[in-house]
Amino acid sequence: MKLVSWNVNGVRAAVKKGAPEALRLINADIVCLQEIKAKPEQMPKELMEWEGYTAFVNAAERPGYSGVAVFTKEAPQRVAYGLEIARFDSEGRTLIMDYPHFRLFNCYFPNGGNGPERLQYKMDFYEATLEYARSSDKPLIVCGDVNTAHREIDLARPKENEKNTGFLPEEREWIDRFLAAGFLDSFRLFNQEGGHYSWWDMKTRARERNIGWRIDYFLVAEELKDRIRDAYILPEVQGSDHCPVVLEIGE
């Protein structure tokens, strides 16, 4: 089974830039999108009527903001729209789906910019996610834009960003604790090299120079380790300031 996760930074804009064609070439069984910035009725028909897939959308209350979607070939056994915490669920950041061998947690984690209140919101969301993960009664696959680079190897300019959100000690320490709770950074099972990123600042044309950050992940429960076949990044895929990341698991 192939799963793909992609922050599309506005699904309607991404469709105009060729996202449906790119996703068809990837040919994943489950497609997880973040930051769709659209209500269900605003979602492009190219995706909502995608042959062979069933669509699920969790939109933010605020128009043109946040939101996640899943397109799946296999019908999930159960779907939950959010964490049942109003202050988080109003931003449409999470879709949770049960499959026979795992529970999928597609999430657009908050950005910690725009002041201390928003950073605290991000850290509170992190803690709620960790609590959920610890209490899950099925092996969990967490995917999405985590909005934090874990280690120095995960961004091009670590020293310059030590005091910036996305690479703050407390943000990175949360990833440490999440992995310690029984999860694997699937990409690092197959690749320990630097220079592999999933987000680039478009304003500075950083993608052309590969001055990026790896902030999109598949974090997989250790119980599923023997099922993991591959995990990789697709930096050549355009359509967003992020690129897709992929997880392949055995049945």
Alpha-carbon Rg for the chain in angstroms: 17
Say whether 89 is catalytic: no
Which pairs from 136-139 meet CB under 8 Å and 24+ separation? Answer: 136/103, 136/221, 138/98, 138/102, 138/103, 139/101, 139/102, 139/103, 139/221, 139/223, 139/224
DSSP label at 163?
T
Return the structure tokens found at 198. 């999933």
Cβ neighbours of 120 (radius 10 Å): 11
The secondary structure element, H or E, covering residue 121 is helix 116-135
DSSP label at 155?
B
One of 89, 98, 124, 145 is an active-site residue; which one? 145
CA–CA separation, 16 vs 53, rounded Å? 20
Angle at 227 between CA 101 and CA 50, to 5 degrees: 65
For the annotated catalytic residues, the residue numbers are 145
